[in-house]
Amino acid sequence: MKSIIGDTKKPALNAIREQDLKIVPIVKSRTNKEGEHEQNPGPPAKIQKVNDLWRLFTDAHYLLIVDYYFFKHANCVEAGIFNALCEVEVTVKDGAVKLTTKKPEIHVFTATLQEYGAFDETLLALREWMNTAKTKAAKSFVEKVSTGNLETSAAEPPSTESDEPPRVHAGVPEEQTAPTRRGGRTKR
């Protein structure tokens, strides 16, 4: 984490460096009935502002909560941690520093995409869908230019391919496995 924050080539983290914020990493672990580690629901890494109770135990400004399973098994750990660090928001007004957290612009922060590219299943599926749509549009345009018919007509047959992006839940495309609901009330 220190190497990620200390890298001055990553301007998205300038506020953390400039204010010399202290961020303490914490690992969150979850096991199944067999005692094997499994991924926690939610983001694999996230930032949490230290509340008053935690201030009794630490002088940190933020906690970086990282999923143990993600940390041990993912090939994109640095990207996940960087994305969580992008949640830090520092506002300086009249010499007073206000610390808050912010939500990403999309699934992840655009700064993370600029640094690491598409690094998880959701982003890879989105990239594939966008490339397919771009190729399809280019082929359609070339066909219209070659036939001299640049105007679109209402008589064009509808596309057989779906123009919707793939639906993904928790990083798994719907076509593969639908997540099962856990817990909650059951009807009797």
Tens-binned pLDDT, residue by residue, of the chain (188 aa): 778 888 888 888 888 888 888 998 989 998 889 988 888 888 888 998 888 888 888 889 998 999 998 888 887 888 888 888 888 888 888 888 888 888 876 667 777 777 777 777 777 777 788 888 888 888 888 888 888 777 755 455 555 555 666 555 444 444 444 445 454 444 44
Contact (CB, 8 A) for 69 and 40: yes
| CB-facing half-sphere around the CA of 141: CA atoms within 13 A | 6
Its pTM stands at 0.58
Whether 150 and 140 have beta carbons less than 8 Å apart is answered as: no
Question: How many other C-beta atoms can be found within 10 angstroms of the C-beta atom of residue 109?
Answer: 20
Give the pLDDT of residue 31. Answer: 87
Task: Report how far residue 157's alpha carbon sits from residue 140's, in angstroms, rounded to the nearest whole number.
Answer: 13
Work out whether the CA dihedral 70, 76, 82, 84 comes out positive or negative.
negative
pLDDT of residue 177: 46
Q: Taking a C-beta distance cutoff of 8 angstroms, is the pair 68, 37 a contact?
A: yes
**42-51: which pairs have CB atoms within 8 A and are 24 or more residues apart?**
43/80, 43/83, 43/84, 44/70, 44/71, 44/74, 44/80, 45/70, 45/80, 45/81, 45/83, 45/84, 46/84, 46/87, 47/23, 47/84, 47/85, 47/87, 47/88, 47/101, 48/101, 49/99, 49/100, 49/101
pLDDT score of 176 = 44
pLDDT at residue 166, as a whole number = 58
Residue 30 Rama label (left phi>0; alpha psi -120 to 50; beta) = beta
